[in-house]
Amino acid sequence: MGKDTGEEKLVRKTKIPETTIARLSSYLRVLDELGRMGFDNTASYQLAEELDINDSQVRKDLSLFGQFGKPGMGYETTKLKREIQKILGLTRKWKVALIGVGNLGSALLAYKGFKRQGFYIVAVFDNDPKKIGKKWAGIVIHDITQLKPIIRKERTEIGIITVPAPAAQEVANLLTKAGIKAILNFAPARISVPKDVRLSNVDLSLKLENLSFFLSRRGR
Amino acid sequence: MGKDTGEEKLVRKTKIPETTIARLSSYLRVLDELGRMGFDNTASYQLAEELDINDSQVRKDLSLFGQFGKPGMGYETTKLKREIQKILGLTRKWKVALIGVGNLGSALLAYKGFKRQGFYIVAVFDNDPKKIGKKWAGIVIHDITQLKPIIRKERTEIGIITVPAPAAQEVANLLTKAGIKAILNFAPARISVPKDVRLSNVDLSLKLENLSFFLSRRGR
DNA sequence: AAGAGTTTGTGAAATTTTTCACAAAGTTAG
DNA sequence: CTAACTTTGTGAAAAATTTCACAAACTCTT
């Protein structure tokens, strides 16, 4: 298959494109669906068709991590799903802290999808005395001043910021001081973190603006 | 400046990369901030630094749409902001419908950021009799069966789907039948739409999975 | 008004990402 | 077992995107 250069395949040696990581998540969604539909096997062209991409893109993405298919047969859905989960680090539980129990924070707390992928919100914080001590989705809302000790004790690894924009940087500082190494920021504010901390921003308006761009140039 | 080939510059002729569109939104955020901080002028290197990208990337992005700067001076923040808004189609109001007033739907209804960018949620729908007729964030929740007439009457152009996954495709069908040309889907389900309808998916878990990927291979 | 100093806009080069195309490896039918 | 199919995995080609590098254009100082 292909050319055998006689060299040892060095998995994980090459740099992985960000786009590949995003697509791996998408493959997972499709595999889930195919699994539910009773497919035991699938093929690159099937995954590709579902996601409206090229089938060799699928194979190339996977080839960056190993060989998971059988020529002539394709992939076992269950096995491939498991392999992708391994790649993405989803075979373990991740403990997540959420800061800011406003509308969006509450919605994310109630969101089932996180737990399904192994992300458990184990600590919740706010600075509003009216909220502190209350329970939401089964979790007590703690005082933001207790962030560091609680996060340390719970060994929380990921922080989700859902506070108003002006408070976002301050919360990010608290999180990094508490030893958090990955932050997902929903606040419409750009924040900076030490370079050993991975920051990911979710800008809810961004996709709407993208739609706006395409709507306003339709038929041009 | 550069070479003058004597040819007419054909703005909007070339294909615009998706990544450029996303960055334009980011430039807007930075310009907002710089404006608030009292900067009347800025330069490509300043915008680039804020976003951790290359400064020629900024200039190249903008050059796809025209010439907005002055050599030696940079860009007027207000003017550039306005130009980018024009490019993205944000100088007008967009009427938006939201379907599904659950946790996430409610959060998005209350989210201020949309209105700030010109996206007005003018129609809200649900299928729960307990919710229909109630008001949320000042807007009456309509019966989903009334979607088409109301959307037609209000001349709504964008639809936001925040219903549970199993209902997403059905809602998308209703929207397209009502003439909607752009859909933002928050439901964790892949849906299909006619090709003249622009579909954008927001997968809330996706970014967490990306963080997971990087966390689990730290120091590898 | 001339010279020093900036910063744009943009071809061209470099890099990255996607797609092509096909040998190898497997399956299935007879 | 063999022949006809199918699909993987992957070099190589193609395409897309980013970065470089610099002439041109503008400002500011003296």
Asked if residue B41 belongs to a domain, the reply is yes
Burial B119-155 (b: 16+ CB within 10 A, else e): bebbbbbbbeeebbeeebeeeebbebeebeebbeeee
For B40, the 3-state DSSP assignment is coil
Sign of CA dihedral A33, A24, A92, A75: positive
End position of a domain, from candidates B88, B106, B137: B88
The tens digit of pLDDT for each residue in B163-181 reads 999 999 999 999 999 999 9
End position of a domain, from candidates A54, A71, A87: A87
Q: Which of B102, B117, B218 sits opposite A208 (nearest CB)?
A: B117
Same domain, B82 and B102: no
Residues of A in contact with B211 (CB under 8 A): 158, 182, 184, 198, 200
pLDDT for A6 equals 36
Cβ-count burial of B188 within 10 angstroms (0-12 exposed, 13-18 middle, 19+ buried)?
Answer: buried
Q: Which of A12, A205, A211 sits opposite B158 (nearest CB)?
A: A211
Residue B14 pLDDT class (50, 70, 90 cuts): confident
Position B39, amino acid:
F
Asked if residue A30 belongs to a domain, the reply is yes
Q: Which domain holds residue A59?
A: 18-87
Whole-angstrom distance, CA of residue B137 vs CA of residue B201: 24
Shortest Cα distance from A50 to chain B (angstroms)? 9
CATH assignment of the domain containing B125: 3.40.50.720
Same domain, A179 and A130: yes
The two structure tokens encoding residue B131: 């919710």
Asked if residue A103 belongs to a domain, the reply is yes
To test the contact with chain B by mutation, choose from A208, A210, A215 the residue with the greatest count of B C-beta atoms within 10 A, namely A208
pLDDT by residue, tens only, chain A of 220 residues? 544 433 334 444 578 999 999 999 999 999 999 999 999 999 999 999 999 999 999 999 999 999 999 999 999 999 999 999 999 999 999 999 999 999 999 999 999 899 999 999 999 999 999 999 999 888 999 999 999 999 999 999 999 999 999 999 999 999 999 999 999 999 999 999 998 999 999 999 999 999 999 999 886 6
- Nearest to residue B29, comparing CAs of A199, A187, A215, A193? A187
Judged by a CB distance cut-off of 8 A, whether residue B14 touches chain A is no
Asked if residue A22 belongs to a domain, the reply is yes
Same domain, A98 and A201: yes
Residue B4 has pLDDT above 70, yes or no: no
- Nearest to residue A28, comparing CAs of A94, A123, A111, A113? A113
How many other β-carbons are positioned within 10 Å of the β-carbon of residue B178?
A: 16
Same domain, A39 and A80: yes
Q: Which of A107, A198, A212 sits opposite B106 (nearest CB)?
A: A107
Pairing of strands A119-126, A139-143: parallel
Asked if residue B176 belongs to a domain, the reply is yes
Residue B218 pLDDT class (50, 70, 90 cuts): confident
- Outline where DSSP puts E strands in B109-202: 119-126, 135-136, 139-143, 158-161, 182-185, 198-201
pLDDT for A218 equals 81
Q: Cβ contact (<8 Å) for A190 and B33?
A: yes
pLDDT for A164 equals 95
The count of domains in chain B is 2
pLDDT for A15 equals 87
Same domain, A111 and A192: yes
Residue B137 pLDDT class (50, 70, 90 cuts): confident
Same domain, A104 and A72: no
Asked if residue B50 belongs to a domain, the reply is yes
Distance B24 CA to C3 C1' (A): 37
Burial A181-209 (b: 16+ CB within 10 A, else e): bbbbbbbbbbbebeeebbbbbbbbbbbbb
pLDDT for A220 equals 63
Distance A204 CA to C13 C1' (A): 37
The CA-based diameter of chain B, rounded to the nearest angstrom, is 67
Whole-angstrom distance, CA of residue B37 vs CA of residue B30: 10
Once rounded to an integer, what is the mean pLDDT over residues B4-23?
Answer: 68
Judged by a CB distance cut-off of 8 A, whether residue A50 touches chain B is yes
Q: Is A72 left (phi over 0), alpha (psi -120 to 50) or beta?
A: left
HEC profile for chain A? Answer: CCCCCCCCCCCCCCCCCHHHHHHHHHHHHHHHHHHHCCCCEECHHHHHHHHCCCHHHHHHHHHCCCCCCECCCEEEHHHHHHHHHHHHCCCCCEEEEEECCCHHHHHHHHCCHHHHCCEEEEEEEECCCCCCCCEECCEEEEEHHHHHHHHHHHCCCEEEECCCHHHHHHHHHHHHHCCCCEEEECCCCCCCCCCCCEEEECCHHHHHHHHHHHHHCCCC
List Cα–Cα distances, B103 to A104, A148, B2, B98, B118, in angstroms: 8, 28, 53, 13, 23
Whole-angstrom distance, CA of residue B113 vs CA of residue A201: 15
- Nearest to residue A148, comparing CAs of A138, A159, A139? A159
